[in-house]
Amino acid sequence: MATQATNALPAVHDVPRREVTGAWFLMFGYATLLTGMVWDGQWHGDVGPDDFWTAPHLLLYSGTGIIGLTCLTVVLLSTWARGPVTGTPSVTVFRTFRAPWPFLVGGLGASGNLLYAGADLWWHEVYGFDIAAGATPSHLGLGLSIQVEIFAMVMAFAVLRRTRAERWGLALAVGLATIGSTSAFGMVSELLFDWLPGLAPRVLGLGAAGALTLTLIVGLTRGWHWPAAAGLAFLGVQGALALFAPAATRWYADAIGQPMRDYAANAPQALIGFPATFPLIALVTGGVVAWAVRRGVSPIVITAGVGALVGVNTTLFYAALGMEMSLPVTLLAAVAAGAGTGWVSWQCAVMLRRFGVRTGAVAGAVTA
């Protein structure tokens, strides 16, 4: 049983302006980072040689710098704030600084990113140019740190569901997160499952990434509109990156006197980095959610089913592109991974919704 707190809990609209503004700056920083990351992937495919100081790298680390400074600013403003404690649940760091959870997570991710950036600089200086992403400890560390920054951005917008603009912000955050999660999820899945015969590990990882983001917005919004909105946001982000990265790569190669590879297709790698059919699945998810809610289907069943659907879509997309795999084995594994990720995502959504509803300190609550 639980005894109610004697003091009223602040409502979701009590989120301080510093956290609202900080959430949008986290998104701006991550959008900058993602643009640099996709541009860097296009550069490796079409040109090749690089070092730490190339324009795509500098754009990527500029985005990380924006995230880190945003998190530091919000933490300091939260620490100096007077009056009753409101806003997202926070933790006290070094017995002094009050850090709201999304901005603590974002600060840790940005710190790790910059730390591994130094390792990446050292690696380039020792081993030279054209290091394949994911093949070095520094790239793996960068990918995992970036994933932490993604989680921070989504956490910040999970609190902001008060207005239509903020819910669109959540949809855009999910669209950005879906594309950006390909790096960490792809690398980790290849490390874990590359030894399994017939299985395409990257398909498994990307299916889990898509299942996580899509089912998360289902769990956070509890409606059919916003999964479809997330698909629309994904379409806009992927389309913009597909237009930008090849053009920027050609321009930059000409500017620094680097020739294009003889076999460079000059095709937008952003269109195959994650299934371009994802917006269709997001639209179908909206319909599935509307149908299931009217019939009283359990939310966990809904999210597990949506995750399995994302796994099917990811497998069939890469099979159509000719990726080497055993289709039955990979399809079965992707469906299982997607359904499991959907279940986990629902649990995460439940916790994040409490961040948005129960802001501030919980005074006098007793649980037995």
The Cα diameter of the chain in Å comes to: 72
Residue 125, burial from CB neighbour count under 10 angstroms (0-12, 13-18, 19+): exposed
> What pLDDT is recorded for position 364?
29
What's the length of the chain? 368
SS3 for 287?
Answer: helix
80: CB partners within 8 A, 6+ apart: none
Alpha carbon distance 158, 349 (integer Å): 8
Q: How many helices (H) and strands (E) does the chain have?
A: 12, 4
Mark out the alpha helices in 128-200 (DSSP H runs).
137-159, 164-180, 182-193
Domain that holds residue 14: 2-367
List 100's β-bridge partners, or say none. 90
Alpha carbon distance 106, 110 (integer Å): 6
pLDDT < 70 stretches in the chain:
1-13, 83-87, 127-135, 356-368
CA end-to-end span of the chain: 6
> What pLDDT is recorded for position 216?
94
Question: In the numeric block, which tokens belong to residue 248?
Answer: 């920027």
> What pLDDT is recorded for position 361?
36
* Tens of pLDDT, residues 51-94: 778 899 899 999 999 999 999 999 999 998 876 666 678 888 88
* Tens of pLDDT, residues 156-188: 999 887 788 889 999 999 999 999 998 889 888
> What pLDDT is recorded for position 214?
95
Collect contacts of 251-260 with beta carbons under 8 A, ≥24 apart. 252/43, 252/54, 252/55, 252/56, 253/43, 253/46, 253/47, 258/47, 258/49, 259/47, 260/46, 260/47
Alpha carbon distance 90, 82 (integer Å): 15
Angle at 125 between CA 120 and CA 131, to 5 degrees: 55
Amino acid at 316: L
SS3 for 219?
Answer: helix
Alpha carbon distance 43, 40 (integer Å): 5
> What pLDDT is recorded for position 131?
53
How many domains does the chain divide into? Answer: 1
Q: CB neighbours (10 Å) of residue 302?
A: 22
Alpha carbon distance 258, 48 (integer Å): 9
* 342, HSE (Cβ side, Cα atoms, 13 Å): 26
> What pLDDT is recorded for position 266?
73
> What pLDDT is recorded for position 310?
96
Alpha carbon distance 329, 352 (integer Å): 34
Alpha carbon distance 112, 143 (integer Å): 10
